Amino acid sequence: MSHNHTSTLDKAITTSRNVVITCTVAVTAALLGMTLLNLPGSQGQAQTPTHSTSTTTTPAPAAPATTGKVVAYTLETVMEGGKMGFKSPDGTFNPVLHAQPGDTIKITLINGDGILHDIAIPELKQDSTDIGTKGSRTVLSFVAEKAGTFTYICNLPGHVAAGMTGQLIVGNPAAATPAASAPSIARNPTDLPAPLARRAPQHLKYEFETIEKVGHLADGTTYNYWTFNGQVPGPFVRIRVGDTVDVTLKNPKDSVAPHSIDFHAVTGPGGGAAATQTAPGGQTNFTFKALNPGLYVYHCATPMVAHHITSGMYGLILVEPEAGLPKVDREFYVMQGELYTQKSIGEKGDAGFDVDKLLHENPEYFVFNGSTDALTKEYPMKAKVGETVRVFFGVGGPNYASNFHVIGEIFDTVYPEASMANAPMKHVQTTLVPAGGATMAEFKLQVPGNYPFVDHALSRMELGLKAMLHVEGPENHAIFKGKVQSGGGH
């Protein structure tokens, strides 16, 4: 299969390796902002309090409370060694900006490189005018209404990928930190289509939406996920060999990044990614014919590709052989990925994305189905003694392969690398699944109990990688007899 986009990817990663991103508080700029405090008249930006401590009337509910304080920052666009960024007067690259809820944030952007830029905070719907002449400036000024961690970027195509992104923290991080909670992005492992009835090849239509959203990563910790259709992994696509598939990719207007889709089941440029680079607010389309049966990974392939994948943009597409797959009682859809966050594992709050850790393949978290507790607390898998189970297991990665193993079970059947062209393997303990690869593992349940799914590189279990299959039913003392102790992780 050809992947014409990989050369672009390699280039993006190579140029990004020169970068050192430091996250230092721009203290001088913050102090400068303090001096502007409450000087109405002297500053065009000084706010008239719209919601002061008046006790005579009921406060107007709609008006945001303002502190009257103006926090001013000056940033200059720079291009260094093929990398773009925002530089503060003290030389900090993409500095972290700070303000308190109710403060007026005033960012003066100076064009330092003669390239067209702007500054925007999409989550707060803030966007400056574009400036393209060296030395020209624009001002982005607004009241920070709510506490949180937001991303500032340059909106021009490719500039986020080139490095133009930093953080704005509104509120006291120490106070805001424990409060981080967000909706689940985890995919239920039983959320997959039923086996196909035997049928002739068809022409099918699938629509994907690239949804960026803050979601639950671990207890008290959130992450700004990028997803297909709002969940990790993306929807399980189930077709048969010979089907023709029409794919539409929609990227909502409020997205920060462009996105795309590359199916490893596609024969053609970029696996579809060459035809689906989709800007926020855009929509693209392509059609392919499924030539080879197998279980294939799909993922976003927009530079920096690894950033998009780690953030959750992966899923599986099953191309069933003509005769279908052997019948089983239950099927599960599980994918492994790893996350590169600014905060260390276990730290509360929004974890943030860390490009330096990504480039050095130094993850903080490993996850099944998007979060640390997706397949333990949220969607524990269930089955009964006597049933047969098939696991569709894929690795989104972006970088780490998985040594897939079920503790307490032996795979009766494994399709190595999800290839269906050869006879499957029998009686396998652990199967290696490459990044961007998949497998199908089948086993019959004979003994009740708890069966953890793991990557047998077991340190990763301590970094969030664990799933649990609970099996109920009668004991079978001929096969296993013993008192099950608690606390063994089983």
Q: Which residues contact Cu ion by CB under 5 A?
A: 259, 300, 302, 308, 313
Pick between residue 160 and residue 441 the one whose CB is nearest to Cu ion: 160
Shortest reach from residue 210's CB to Cu ion, in Å: 6
The answer to whether 297 and 271 have CB atoms below 8 angstroms apart is no
Residue 360 sits at the vertex; the CA angle it makes with 357 and 366, to the nearest 5 degrees, is 60
Q: Report in angstroms how near the CB of residue 236 gets to Cu ion at its nearest.
A: 19
Contact criterion met (CB below 8 Å) for 307 and 358: yes
Nearer to Cu ion, 225 or 453 (CB): 225
**Paired sense of beta strands 349-350 and 221-228, if any:** parallel
Give the residue with the Cβ less far from Cu ion, 161 or 467.
161
Phi-psi region of 338 (alpha: psi -120 to 50; beta: other; left: phi over 0): beta
Please state, in angstroms and rounded to a whole number, the distance separating the CA atoms of residues 104 and 39. Answer: 13
Expressed in angstroms, the distance from the first to the final Cα of the chain is 41
In the complex, what is the shortest distance from the CB of residue 310 to Cu ion, in angstroms, rounded to a whole number?
11
Strands 411-415 and 381-384: what pairing? unpaired
Place of tokens 């590359």: 262
What is the nearest approach in angstroms of Cu ion to the Cβ of residue 300? Answer: 3
Minimum distance, C-beta of residue 269 to Cu ion, in the bound complex (Å): 17
- The 10 Å CB-count burial string (b at 16+, else e) for 18-47 is ebebeeeebeebbebbeebeeeeeeeeebb
Q: For residues 302 and 402, which CB has a smaller minimum distance to Cu ion in the complex?
A: 302
Distance CA(136)–CA(157), nearest Å, equals 20
Q: Which is nearer to Cu ion, 24 or 283 (CB)?
A: 283
In whole angstroms, how close is the CB of 353 to Cu ion at the nearest point? 13
Q: How far apart are CA 369 and CA 346, in angstroms?
A: 18
Q: Could you tell me the smallest distance in angstroms from the CB atom of residue 200 to Cu ion?
A: 34
Give 240 or 299: the residue with its C-beta nearer to Cu ion: 299
Q: How far is the CB of 343 from Cu ion (least distance, A)?
A: 22
Of 331 and 354, the one with the shorter C-beta distance to Cu ion is 354
As a whole number of angstroms, the distance between CA 35 and CA 71 comes to 9
CA–CA distance, 223 with 349 (Å, rounded to integer)? 9
Whichever of 47 and 210 has its CB closer to Cu ion, that residue is 210
